[in-house]
Amino acid sequence: MAETDPEPTARPGRRRSTSHDELERVAFALFGRDGFDATTVDDIARAAGIGRRTFFRYFDSKNDVVWGDFDAHLGRMRARLRARPTDEPLTEAIRTAVVEFNRVEPEERPRHRARLELILRVPALQAHSTLRYADWRAVVADFAAERLGAPVTSLWPQTLAHATLGIALAAYEQWLSTDDATTDLTTLLDHALTALTTGFDHLP
């Protein structure tokens, strides 16, 4: 699927201000053209029309660009979980929140797919991804612990957090493995996460 990002070159007279999203778009255009490994922070800053120092006001490293404004994303997922009805079964609440967290507008799907391709397929990102996965699991574990009235480090909150991430990663991999543009990521996630509630013995 083709990106609709701007050309990864600075334009004369470009204003010297930016945002997380603008820098991310410029970086993804460069990653698509030159590859992740060959793209440097200086390349991204130059294409965005900013200095290296300004780049680091937005992202700590090139690796962080791939994840976007991840802390803000996690904050939204935490808010989605907390907004679930208190009488809703725990695993159902997690399923709904995670599916909605991964729902993106049609025009953003190419970048979302490119993001997951980089996260799951680029060896240089694997160690960094492990740290991000831990932050993601912590959001689910915190919610589960609160619902269960248990310490966040205890078995069941941690089991739910690890299981949810594992299922989500399997759905991401399945989505990336198909060239069918009609395949919907949220549908895959919904089906996969339903097994948290129904159990794997009842899979179709």
Quick one: pLDDT at residue 180?
64
What tens digit of pLDDT does each residue of 14-71 get? 444 478 889 999 999 999 999 999 999 999 999 999 999 999 999 999 999 999 888 9
**Portion of the chain with pLDDT greater than 70, in percent:** 88
Quick one: pLDDT at residue 6?
42
Instruction: State the chain's mean pLDDT as an integer.
Output: 88
Whether 1 contacts 110, CB under 8 Å:
yes
123-158: burial string, b at 16+ Cβ within 10 Å, e else: eebeebbeebbeebbbbbbbbbbebeeeeeeeeebb
pLDDT higher than threshold 80 for residue 195: yes
66-98: burial string, b at 16+ Cβ within 10 Å, e else: bbbbeeeebeebbebbeebeeeeebbebbbbbb
* CA–CA dist 193, 91 (Å, integer): 8
Q: Report the amino acid identity of residue 145.
A: A
Query: Binning pLDDT at 50, 70 and 90, where does residue 163 land?
Result: very high
Q: Is 0.95 topped by the overall pTM?
A: no
